[in-house]
Amino acid sequence: MTPETIIIIILAVLLAALVTYALIRSRKNKDHNFEITRSLFAILLSDRPHIAASGMHVFLLTECFYDYLPFFWKLKINEDDLKYGALLRDVGKLAVPDEILNKAGKLEKKEMLLVRSHTDRTEKMLSQIEGLQNVAKWIKYHHERIDGKGYYKLKGNEIPVEARIIAITDTYSSIIMGGSYKPTGTREDALAILKMDAGTQFDEELIGYFSHIPAARLNEAGQEVERIMSRYTVE
């Protein structure tokens, strides 16, 4: 067993303990519970800050998105499962070296397959955690496309609604936050890209709801991530 594998196993166990603890407390004080979960998530992934920050940003964006969904959409979704899925959707990337995740330019075929495998890894990790089995059933599909050209070739309503929601917040986050070789974008940049790909990559109706979220609410998500990460990021 390699050192990297041991580290992944340890992190998976810690994340399992974190979520189990959070779920136990959820009936008592749900808002406080999620705040604790986000903070512990940041601590556990302090040596992979890009994954931690991305997870928290998508969590907060998804939380905001849920608030602005029409009631009939909310009836289709378990709010807590949606939030946990948003936070933990990329934990499978812990098995992918940073030099591949942050590589400039096009990935080689083997590298691309390794990156794409993070959805399967995430599903397997979450399926072992009591209370997150339902999340594991759909989280692997958050890179699917409405036109059927995603990882698993699901299309339209074949894609679980939770995965369609997180596909939007994940993409918005990646544009706003940028990366090692990708400049950060503005809200206007992100919305323009989302709208351009509505009906092909993203659910067109959901894009309509997301685009009406006030800029101040979306900006708050980024500010909150900066506040949390400033406490726990290892320099």
Q: Catalogue all structural domains in the chain, each as residue range(s) with its CATH number.
A: 53-227 (1.10.3210.10)
pLDDT at residue number 38 = 61
User: If DSSP states are collapsed to H, E and C, what string results for the chain?
Assistant: CCHHHHHHHHHHHHHHHHHHHHHHHCCCCHHHHHHHHHHHHHHHCCCCHHHHHHHHHHHHHHHHHHHCCCHHHHCCCCHHHHHHHHHHCCHHHHHCCHHHHCCCCCCCHHHHHHHHCHHHHHHHHHHCCCCCHHHHHHHCCCCCCCCCCCCCCCCHHHCCHHHHHHHHHHHHHHHHHCECCECCCCHHHHHHHHHHCECCCECHHHHHHHCCCCHHHHHHHHHHHHHHHHHHCCC
Show the tokens assigned to 21: 């603890």
Report whether 100 contacts 115 (CB < 8 A). Answer: yes
Show the tokens assigned to 132: 């997150």
What's the mean pLDDT when you consider all of the chain? 83
The tens digit of pLDDT for each residue in 58-74 reads: 999 999 999 999 999 99
Q: Which of 27-36, 42-51, 95-104, 140-149 has the highest mean pLDDT?
A: 140-149
Rounded to two decimals, the pTM is: 0.82
Output phi, psi for 46, to 5 deg: -65, -25
Residue 129 has pLDDT above 90, yes or no: no
Interacting residues of 149 by C-beta distance below 8 A, sequence separation 6+ = none
The tens digit of pLDDT for each residue in 182-220 reads: 667 889 999 999 999 999 999 999 999 999 999 999 999
pLDDT greater at residue 153 or residue 125: 153
C-alpha distances out from residue 225 to 12, 55, 205, Å: 22, 9, 28
